């Protein structure tokens, strides 16, 4: 059972790492691409670091800090008037909605990782 859980954690983090790299790769046409490429690449990197158990324990506080920063960013980016995501960029609120939900997704993934980090058993 432990091997199954370990394999699930591995593939889930690999999946999210690849997804966030894909998110980063489509940010080049964004009005502020550097910020979003950094955000998604950082989240992807932390997903990949999670695959190396010895490293992730050393970085546990970083996961919490970045997750909280992403969630705070989500709150600050949230549009004043919710107009949905839209299929086109009709208003600035559509862009703010997309950005805030992207930050929320990053924050949730990193917070789940933080909560799942357990110390190594040296037995």
pLDDT digits (tens, 9 = 90+) for 61-85: 999 999 999 999 999 999 888 887 7
pLDDT reported for residue 123: 44
121 belongs to a structural domain: no
Note the pTM of the prediction, 2 decimals: 0.87
93 belongs to a structural domain: yes
Q: How many domains does the chain have?
A: 1
**Cα angle 20, 63, 8; round to 5:** 60
CA dihedral over 91, 18, 3, 66, signed as positive or negative: negative
67 belongs to a structural domain: yes
Q: Residue 44 is part of which domain span? A: 2-116
Is residue 107 exposed (0-12), middle (13-18) or buried (19+ Cβ within 10 Å)? buried
What stretches in the chain show pLDDT beneath 70? 120-123
122 belongs to a structural domain: no
């Amino acid at each position: 059972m432990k091997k199954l859980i370990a394999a699930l954690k591995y593939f889930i983090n690999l999946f999210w790492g690849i997804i966030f790299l894909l998110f980063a790769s489509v940010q080049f046409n964004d009005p502020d691409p550097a910020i979003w490429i950094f955000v998604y690449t950082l989240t992807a990197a932390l997903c990949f670091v999670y695959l190396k158990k010895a490293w992730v324990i050393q970085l546990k506080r970083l996961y919490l800090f970045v997750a909280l920063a992403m969630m705070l960013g989500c709150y600050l980016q949230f549009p004043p008037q919710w107009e949905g995501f839209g299929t086109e960029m009709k208003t600035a609120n559509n862009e703010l909605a997309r950005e805030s939900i992207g930050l929320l997704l990053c924050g949730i993934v990193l917070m789940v990782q933080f909560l799942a980090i357990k110390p190594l058993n040296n037995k």
